[in-house]
Amino acid sequence: MAPPLFDALIIGAGAAGLAAGAELARAGRSVLVLEARDRIGGRCWSLHEPGLPVPIELGAEFIHGRPAAMFSLLEKTGVAAVDAPFVRWTVQRGKLQPRGDDLFAEVRRALRQQGAALKKQDVSFETFLAHGPHGLSEKAQAFARMRAQGFEAADPARASARAIAEDWGGEAAADAGHFRPAGGYGALLASLAGELGGNGVELRLRTVVHTVRWKRGSVAVEGTALGKPFRATARRAIITLPLGVLQLARDAPGAVCFTPALKAKQQALEGLASGAVIKVALRFRAAFWEELDEARYRDASFFHSPEAAFPTFWTALPVRAPLLIAWAGGPKATRLSGAGTRDIIRQAVTSLKSVFGKQADIEARLEAAYVHDWQRDPFARGAYSYVTVGGAAARKALAAPLRDTLFFAGEATDDEGEAGTVAGALQSGTRAARQLINAQRNGGEIGS
Ligand SMILES: Cc1cc2nc3c(=O)[nH]c(=O)nc-3n(C[C@H](O)[C@H](O)[C@H](O)COP(=O)(O)OP(=O)(O)OC[C@H]3O[C@@H](n4cnc5c(N)ncnc54)[C@H](O)[C@@H]3O)c2cc1C
pLDDT above 90 as % of the chain = 86
Which residue, judged by its Cα, is nearest atom 26 of ligand 1? 410
Distance from residue 241's CA to the centre of ligand 1 (Å): 9
Strands (E), 335-383: 366-371
Distance from residue 96's CA to the centre of ligand 1 (Å): 34
Instruction: For the chain, list the domains and their CATH numbers.
Output: 5-43+185-274+385-443 (3.50.50.60), 50-65+81-87+177-182+276-371 (3.90.660.10), 101-173 (no CATH)
Say which range, 45-59, 78-92, 158-172, 304-318, has the weakest mean pLDDT: 158-172
Which residue, judged by its Cα, is nearest atom 13 of ligand 1? 60
Given a cut of 90, whether residue 103 has pLDDT beyond it is: no
The reply to whether the predicted model has a pTM over 0.95 is: yes
Q: φ and ψ at 381, to 5 degrees?
A: 55, 40
Q: φ and ψ at 437, to 5 degrees?
A: -65, -40
Given a cut of 90, whether residue 448 has pLDDT beyond it is: no
pLDDT of amino acid 101: 64
| Nearest to 379, CA basis, from 9, 14, 10 | 14
Strands (E), 337-394: 366-371, 384-387
Alpha helices in 78-225 (DSSP H): 103-120, 125-131, 138-150, 161-169, 185-194
Q: Which atom of ligand 1 is nearest to the CA of 61?
A: 8
Strand partners, 257: 211
Which residue, judged by its Cα, is nearest atom 2 of ligand 1? 59
Mutational test site, ligand 1, from 384, 407, 416, max ligand atoms within 8 Å of CB: 384
For residue 211, what are the contacts with CB-CB under 8 A and spacing of at least 6?
Answer: 221, 222, 223, 256, 257, 258, 259
Amino acid at 58: L
pLDDT of amino acid 2: 63
pLDDT of amino acid 232: 97
CB 77 within 8 A of CB 426: no
Say which range, 81-85, 170-174, 210-214, 372-376, has the weakest mean pLDDT: 170-174
Distance from residue 236's CA to the centre of ligand 1 (Å): 22
Strand partners, 320: none
Distance from residue 420's CA to the centre of ligand 1 (Å): 9
Distance from residue 239's CA to the centre of ligand 1 (Å): 13
pLDDT of amino acid 198: 75
Length of the chain, please? 448
Distance from residue 400's CA to the centre of ligand 1 (Å): 20
Give how far Cα 279 sits from Cα of 26, 313, 332, 355, Å: 36, 9, 11, 17
CB 178 within 8 A of CB 316: no
pLDDT in tens, 175-195: 678 999 999 999 999 999 998
pLDDT in tens, 112-154: 999 899 999 999 999 999 987 888 999 899 999 999 999 999 9
Q: φ and ψ at 47, to 5 degrees?
A: -105, 140
CB 169 within 8 A of CB 62: no
Q: Chain-wide mean pLDDT for the chain? A: 94
Ligand 1 neighbours (beta carbon < 6 A)? 11-17, 34-37, 42-44, 59-62, 208-209, 240-242, 245, 256, 277, 279, 374, 379-380, 383-384, 410-411, 420-423, 425
